[in-house]
Amino acid sequence: MSSWYQHWTDQDLRAMPRKGEELVCLYANVAVQPSWLVYSPGDGSVVHTEFGEGFSSVIPGGVEGRPAQLERAMRDNGAVWPGSQAFASPAAWQQFVERHSPGLHGAVWRSIGDFLGVTLVRSDIEQGLLPVALLTDPFG
């Protein structure tokens, strides 16, 4: 399952995925940074991080299982800051990402698609041909 929901899912139990429900939410938040990635691997837990950062920075004791696999896919696509050993600065890494992909957002989207085995055709998106489900706002 993939969906869109604000990054505060952990504050409303009605928005929390249950065991067996894998959930990915990309909260682009382009106008007001940061952008967020929310992931539930199907075990009832939820982890979220800013675009450009991996789950390693928010999971005490390290990343394992599906979150580790997703983080690896993000690192492979340049969607996570690889550290100062690979680039002199975050700005140099950002320039690299911009040159080799459609930016950080594109690298995150590609990583999620690779990880889940989902491909979205740009023309289908632009023409509004994707299936949609309307979810009510639990805060409204």
Summarize pLDDT for 11-68 with one digit per residue, the tens. Answer: 666 667 788 888 888 877 777 778 888 888 988 888 888 888 888 877 777 788 999 9
Residue 112 covered by a domain:
yes
Residue 2 covered by a domain:
no
Domain that holds residue 36: 9-126
Residue 71 covered by a domain:
yes
The tally of domains found in the chain comes to 1
What distance in Å separates the CA atoms of residue 115 and residue 25, rounded to the nearest whole number?
Answer: 13
**Which amino acid, one-letter code, is at 45?**
S
Report the predicted TM-score, pTM, of the whole model to 2 decimal places. Answer: 0.74
- Following CA atoms 36, 66, 23, 105 in sequence, which dihedral angle do they give, to the nearest 10 degrees? 30
Residue 3 covered by a domain:
no
**Contact present, 38 and 29 (Cβ < 8 Å):** no
Please give the sequence-ordered ranges of beta strands (E in DSSP) within the chain, or none if there are none: 22-27, 36-41, 47-50
